[in-house]
Chain A
């Protein structure tokens, strides 16, 4: 039994990594991965919201009528995001200004709504909390991996510590918008390469855009 609980957490890390395997939450991944400190802050904030909203939604899963489940989920998530906003504004004003609009935009991060739809509305409170934890850590890990690449190449530092000497020119394009897309594409290609080698390749779909089953 203990093993299966652990597997719920580890599921989010690699097998169902929200960013690189499920392709959810692409906007914050691209936007805040310019520096490792931002990535960690964003990851922590999203993890907190994920765990809390998963717990509440799972606890209320028998109460919420099916017809209005989406508005209910969004309201619950928005409540926790407001909580996080207040905490960050009070205790980490530097992080607040670095994340800017992306902090309130956690509300529309598809990882959170996606997990509510896919997991929390069908499972027990404890399992949902663990799933939220695993997904949150998976999100933070992929964000940090991207931020590491972008910060080292674009700014010559990691978590604010200078690694590449000042005399070497920085490839500042990596910390701006095109670098984000490029880095994400490259990282995903590496993951696909690894999957092909280990024979567990999956079909990738853009998680949030095709949820309603249109287009493709």
Chain B
């Protein structure tokens, strides 16, 4: 159990997908302007990440790998994710209209979001088993949400400021992201001391 929590919190704080690993920068910069859209997008990402991991892990470990088809990983995973996103959209639209209305607009954006494909591939690079992979996916999604929510607050202040003309808009946002990312560097090493596991 400690191991699973260790993976979860490492993914949220130390290995934060957005601020440390640079996965999913586009939605981070594009959708973080308002708090409610930041939350909606993040919830959709968590949802798809966990489901994608739940499907791709057995597919790779039980079908591709034993048959020597490991090299098809990229192509199979992206197709699975695309189909999954499409499927979720249809199911939500049909049976859960309330949820669809709040998450629906973000779903099409997720297929080409690198953090979803990233987490499914990284689970194998890190050699996680099935349960560990699910925790890793949930943690990565939660980390994405944390970064989005924190940054939407930072952004409100930044947009109200008055930077030099050439820094207005995207450049100053990136500098603000640098400082937010800097604060996450402080978490390095904290996890291994809390859980007593060597990183």
Residues in A lying within 8 Å of B, measured CB to CB: 23, 26-28, 30-31, 70-71, 74-75, 78-79, 81-82, 85-86, 100-101, 104-105, 107-110, 113, 173, 176-182, 184-186, 188-190, 192-193, 196, 204-212, 214-216
Whether A215 contacts B166 by the Cβ 8 Å rule is no
Interface residues on B, range: 35 or more
Whether B25 contacts A27 by the Cβ 8 Å rule is yes
Whether A71 contacts B74 by the Cβ 8 Å rule is no
Closest chain A CB from B37 CB (angstroms): 6
Whether B31 contacts A177 by the Cβ 8 Å rule is no
Closest chain B CB from A118 CB (angstroms): 14
Of the 9-residue stretches B44-52, B88-96, B116-124, which lies at the interface with chain A? B116-124
Please provide the 7 A-B residue pairs with the shortest distance between their CB atoms, ordered closest to farther: A209-B30, A185-B174, A181-B178, A206-B30, A182-B178, A189-B171, A193-B166
Q: List 28 A-B contacts (CB under 8 A).
A: A26-B25, A27-B23, A31-B22, A31-B23, A70-B82, A74-B78, A82-B71, A108-B78, A109-B114, A176-B185, A177-B20, A177-B184, A178-B179, A181-B177, A181-B181, A182-B178, A185-B171, A185-B172, A185-B175, A189-B167, A189-B171, A192-B167, A192-B168, A204-B169, A206-B29, A207-B26, A211-B109, A212-B109
The closest CB in chain B to the CB of A190 belongs to: B166
**B33-58 toward A: CB 8 Å interface, digit per residue (1/0)?**
11001000000000000000000000
Specify the main secondary structure of chain A where it touches its partner: helix
Closest chain B CB from A28 CB (angstroms): 8
A78 contact from B79, B113, B166, B185, Cβ within 8 A: B79
The closest CB in chain A to the CB of B173 belongs to: A185
Whether B178 contacts A188 by the Cβ 8 Å rule is no
The closest CB in chain B to the CB of A76 belongs to: B75
The closest CB in chain A to the CB of B86 belongs to: A71
Whether B31 contacts A209 by the Cβ 8 Å rule is yes
Identify which of residues 164-199 in chain B touch chain A, using a CB-to-CB cut-off of 8 Å: 164-175, 177-179, 181-182, 184-185
Whether A86 contacts B74 by the Cβ 8 Å rule is no
Closest chain A CB from B132 CB (angstroms): 17
Closest chain B CB from A203 CB (angstroms): 9
A86-B71 in contact given A27-B26, A211-B109 (Cβ < 8 Å): yes
The answer for the CA separation of A107 and B192 in the assembled complex, in Å, is 34
Contacts of A215 in B (CB 8 A): 30-31, 33-34, 37
Identify which of residues 129-143 in chain B touch chain A, using a CB-to-CB cut-off of 8 Å: none
The answer for the CA separation of A193 and B163 in the assembled complex, in Å, is 13
Closest chain A CB from B93 CB (angstroms): 16
The closest CB in chain B to the CB of A197 belongs to: B166
B185 contact from A86, A178, A214, Cβ within 8 A: A178
A179-B178 in contact given A26-B25, A27-B25, A78-B75 (Cβ < 8 Å): yes
Contacts of B177 in A (CB 8 A): 181, 185
The answer for the CA separation of A104 and B74 in the assembled complex, in Å, is 6
